[in-house]
Amino acid sequence: MWLDPTARPGLARCSAPTKATAAQVAALRALPDPVEPVTPHLACELAAGHQDDHAALAVASHGGDQWWWLRWDRRRRDVVQIDPCEATEHAAPDPEYCLFPAGHPGSHSFNLQPGPNRKVDDEPPPTQPHWALRGPRM
C-alpha cells in the first residue's frame, strides 16, 4: 500500500478512484431530491491505509436524509444506503460531525485533512448542499 511519506500518519485520505457503472449511476439518478448531482467518478473518502472496503458518497437523496455510498474493493462494487457515522468531534468549540458511513474503518472524517470532496457548513443556504461541491484536487 502506498502512503505519502510527507503526510501525517492517519490524517491523509485514501482517495482511491473508482467509477460507478452506468446502471448504478442510472439508479442513483432516479433517487428523489438529490442534494447534488450524481457523478460516476468518485474517490474513496476514508483515511489512508484503512481496512475493509473503499467508500465514497455517491449521492444524498431525499433532501439529504438518505446517504448512498459506493463501496468497493478489487472484486466488487456495491451501492448501499448507510446512515452517517454518529461520532462528533470532542473538545471542540464548534464540533464537527463525522461524514463517513456508520461502521466505517479508520479515522473519523473530522480527524483527517480537509478533503477535496466536501465540507459541512453550519447553516447552508437553501440552494446549497450541506457540503460544498467537489473542488479541485490538491
- Which residues contact Zn ion by CB under 5 A? 14, 16, 44, 46, 54, 85, 87, 98, 100, 108
Long-range CB contact pairs, 61-68, < 8 A, 24+:
61/28, 61/31, 61/32, 61/33, 61/34, 61/35, 62/31, 62/32, 62/33, 63/33, 63/35, 64/35, 64/129, 64/130, 66/31, 67/101, 68/28, 68/31
Given the complex with Zn ion, which of 44 and 57 has the nearer CB atom? Answer: 44
Given the complex with Zn ion, which of 25 and 70 has the nearer CB atom? Answer: 70
Minimum CB separation of residue 45 from Zn ion in Å reads 8
Minimum CB separation of residue 62 from Zn ion in Å reads 21
Minimum CB separation of residue 30 from Zn ion in Å reads 26
Given the complex with Zn ion, which of 29 and 94 has the nearer CB atom? Answer: 94
Amino acid at 118: R
